[in-house]
Structure 1
Amino acid sequence: MRIAIFDVSHWHFPLYITALRDPGIEVIGISDSAAFAGPRFSELLDCKLYGSNDELMGQDFDFALVFSRHSDMAELAERLIAKGKPFLIEKPCGLRLEDVRRIRKLSEKHGVFVSVPFIQRVSDLADRLSPAAGFMPDGFQHLSFRFVVGSVNRYERNGCAWMLDKTLAGGGSMLNVGIHFIDLISDLTKSPITEVSGQVQIYRPDVTVDEQAVFTCRTAAGQIGVIETGYLYPSTADDQRDFAFSLSHRQSYIRGYADQFYAKSREQGKASATTIEYNTDEYYPVFLRRSWADLENGHPPVAGLLEAERALAVIEAGYRSAAKGGAPEVIDSTI
């Protein structure tokens, strides 16, 4: 399979490299609009660095990866759809909900495969909380997730300072990391989020995206979810983030922190603790390989533009709520 990769300076791109070295995979070229990391990855992948996205778009390839600025994503996606090229595109897939809705409709109209790496769907956590593990969707009562990552400085160090500008990024910590848990709540409960109340905070005067956010959500089935995110953790290479969760299910109460998965049964009152891989970086190559397998087998993606559209609808409603002091916002669940 011949792969084209657009805008490799995105901080997530290095997480996909192990999959891009799989047998039968050939990276035919990359682009780097940020002019930051392109030469290094060109050498690493032994491929050509094209001078622009336009030049790379004109090449012959079978599958594309899109890592562009959020403000540029939708236009690039439209061009790939027009060419009939399947691709993976990083969330949020566009600057606004209307952008994502437009490209979702276009991809459906033209039958183009598009996957969006909501990597929690292929995680050990999702497996442990699945119906196969005894956790039926209607049994969830309350779901709470805290995911606090490194400071905004990390985007500047990685050549992605645009992530701190709302006109280019669309949002901050909730859009960037909280969106995974918005999707996970809907996936676990099999019920769309229909109401959200949000609070956000910005600390640096030159930053225009949320450095801290808390969303309280309610699903159509009545379950309550709380998501807390932030760019506040003193991140280091060996200790990158603060991730913790607690879930109430009619079968068990579950808690997680560090590498622990703790479940206490309601029926017997017995508790068990096991280790689990919570480092989300591990799941990006897993998701990419799953995307290739789904495409080859004629299956829809495990997560795609429809899931991105639904999650972004919650994000935008939560930001509207925050602008109104936390007043609840209703989300159209018919998407």
Structure 2
Amino acid sequence: MKIAVFDVSHWHFPLYIPALKDPGIEVVGISDSASFAGARFSDLLNCKLYGSNHELISEDFDFALVFSRHSDMAELAERLIAKGKPFLIEKPCGVSLEEVRRIRNLSEKHGVFVSVPFIMRVSDLAAHLSPAAGLTSDGFQHLSFRFIVGSVARYERNGCGWMLDKGLAGGGSMLNVGIHFIDLIANLTQSPITQVSGQAHIYRSDVTVDEQAVFTCRNSAGQIGVIETGYLYPSTAEDQRDFAFSLSHRQSYVRGYANQFYAKSRTGEKAYATTIEYNTDAYYPVFLRRSWADLANGRPPVAGLLEAERALAVIEAGYRSAANGGAPEQV
């Protein structure tokens, strides 16, 4: 399979490289609008570095990966759809719900496969919280997730300073990391989020995206979820984030932190504890390989533009709520 990669200076791109080195995969070209990391990845992947996205999209390839600035994503997605090229596009796929809805409609109209890496769907955590593990979707009573990552300075160091500008990024910590848990809550409960109350805060005077946010969500079944995000953790290569969760279910109460997973049954049975992989970086190549398998077998993606559209609708409602002092907003 011939692969084209658009805008490799995105901080997530290196996480996909293990899959791009699989047998039968050939990266035929990459682009780098930021002119930051393109030469290094061109050498690493032994492929051509194209001078622009326009040049790369004109070449022959079977599948594309899109890592562009959020403000550039929808336009590039439209061009790939017009060419009939299947692709993976990083969330949020655009800077507004309107943009994402437009490309979702176009992809459906033209029958183009598009996957969006909501990587929690292929994670060990999702497997441990699934019906196969005894946690039915209607049994969840409360779901709470905290995901605090490194400061906004990490984007500047990685050549992605545009992530600090709401006009180019669309949002901050809740859009960038909280969106995974919005999708996870909807997937675990099999019920769309219909109402959200939000709070957000910015600390640096030159930043226009949320550096901290908390959303309280209610879905159509009445289940409640709380998501807390931030660009506040003193991140290092060995210790990148603070992730913790707790969930109440009719069958058990579950909580986790670091690499620990603990579930206590409501029927008086002995509590269950184990260690699982919470490092979300590990699941990007897993998701990409799953996308290729879904495409090859004629299946829809495990997560795509419809899921991105639904999640972004919650994000926009939460940001409206935060701007209005936390008053609940309908999704």
Normalized against structure 1, the TM-score is what? 0.99
The aligned residue for residue 191 of structure 1 is 191
2:200 aligned residue: 200
Secondary structure of 2:267's match?
A: coil
CA shift digits 1:204-242 (9 cap, x unpaired): 000000000000000100000000000000000000000
- Report the equivalent of 2:21: 21
Letter in 1 for 2:81: I
Q: Which residue number in structure 2 is paired with residue 300 of structure 1? A: 300
CA distance in structure 1 between the partners assigned to 2:225 and 2:95 by the alignment: 25
User: How far apart, CA to CA, are the structure 2 residues paired with 1:130 and 1:252?
Assistant: 13
**1:281 alignment partner AA:** D
Opposite residue 226 of structure 2, the aligned amino acid is V
| Corresponding position of 2:236 | 236
Match of 2:261 in 1: 261
Distance 2:20 2:330 in 1: 41
Q: Could you tell me how far 1:89 is from its partner in structure 2?
A: 0.0
| Partner residue in 1 for 2:72 | 72
AA at the equivalent of 1:274: T
Q: Which residue of 2 aligns with 1:101?
A: 101
The aligned residue for residue 316 of structure 2 is: 316
Matches within 5 A, 1:214-229: 214-229=214-229
> C-alpha distance in 1, partners of 2:224/2:131?
19
Determine helix, strand or coil for the equivalent of 2:121: helix
User: Which structure 2 residue ranges, 5 or more long, are not aligned?
Assistant: none
| Aligned pairs for 1:282-301 within 5 A | 282-301=282-301
For 2:34 and 2:293, the matched residues in 1 are separated by 31
Distance in structure 2 (CA, Å) of the matches to 1:31 and 1:97: 26
Unaligned runs of 5+ in 1: none
Over aligned residue pairs, what C-alpha RMSD do you find?
0.4
Counterpart Cα distance in 2 of 1:98 and 1:167: 15
What's the TM-score once normalised by structure 2's chain length? Answer: 1.00
Distance 2:76 2:181 in 1: 26
**Matched residue type, 2:329:** E
Give the Cα–Cα distance (whole angstroms) in 2 for the partners of residues 36 and 253 of structure 1: 46
- Letter in structure 2 aligned against 1:168: L
Q: Which amino acid aligns with 2:85?
A: K
In structure 2, what residue type is equivalent to 1:249?
A: H
Amino acid across the alignment from 1:146: R
Counterpart of 2:280, as a letter, is: T
Task: Give the aligned partner of residue 117 of structure 2.
Answer: 117
Q: Provide the residue aligned with 1:143 in structure 2.
A: 143
Amino acid at match of 2:217: C
SS of the counterpart of 1:215?
strand
Asked whether 1:212 is paired with 2:212, we answer yes
Letter in 1 for 2:38: G
Q: Does 1:41 align with 2:62?
A: no
Equivalent residues, number: 331
Structure 1 partner of 2:163: 163
Q: Which amino acid aligns with 1:277?
A: E
Q: Which residue of 2 aligns with 1:128?
A: 128
Aligned to 2:279: 279
Q: What is the rounded CA distance, in whole Å, between the counterparts of 1:245 and 1:210 in structure 2?
A: 21
Q: Helix, strand or coil: the match of 1:290?
A: helix
Letter of the 1:49 counterpart: L
Aligned-partner Cα distance in 2 for 1:102–1:78: 9
- Structure 1 position 270, deviation (Å): 2.4
Aligned mates of 1:259, 1:271 — CA distance in 2: 17
Give aligned-pair identity as a percent. Answer: 85
Letter in 1 for 2:220: A
Q: In the TM superposition, what is the alpha-carbon distance from 1:269 to its structure 2 partner?
A: 4.7
Secondary structure in 2 matching 1:176: helix
2:270 corresponds to which residue?
270
Q: Deviations over 1:20-70 (max 9, x none)?
A: 000000000000000000000000000000000000000000000000000
| Residue 5 of structure 1 pairs with residue 10 of structure 2 | no
Looking at structure 1, the residues matched to 95 and 171 of structure 2 have their Cα atoms a distance apart, in angstroms, of 9
CA distance, structure 2, for counterparts of residue 316 and residue 124 of structure 1: 29
Please tell me the residue identity of whatever aligns with 2:183. Answer: D
* Larger mean Cα displacement after TM superposition, 14-23 or 268-277: 268-277
C-alpha distance in 1, partners of 2:16/2:199? 33
Runs of 4+ in 1 over 6 A off after TM superposition: none
Letter matched to residue 327 of structure 1: A
- Cα distance, 1:272 vs structure 2: 1.5
User: What letter corresponds to residue 325 of structure 1 in structure 2?
Assistant: G
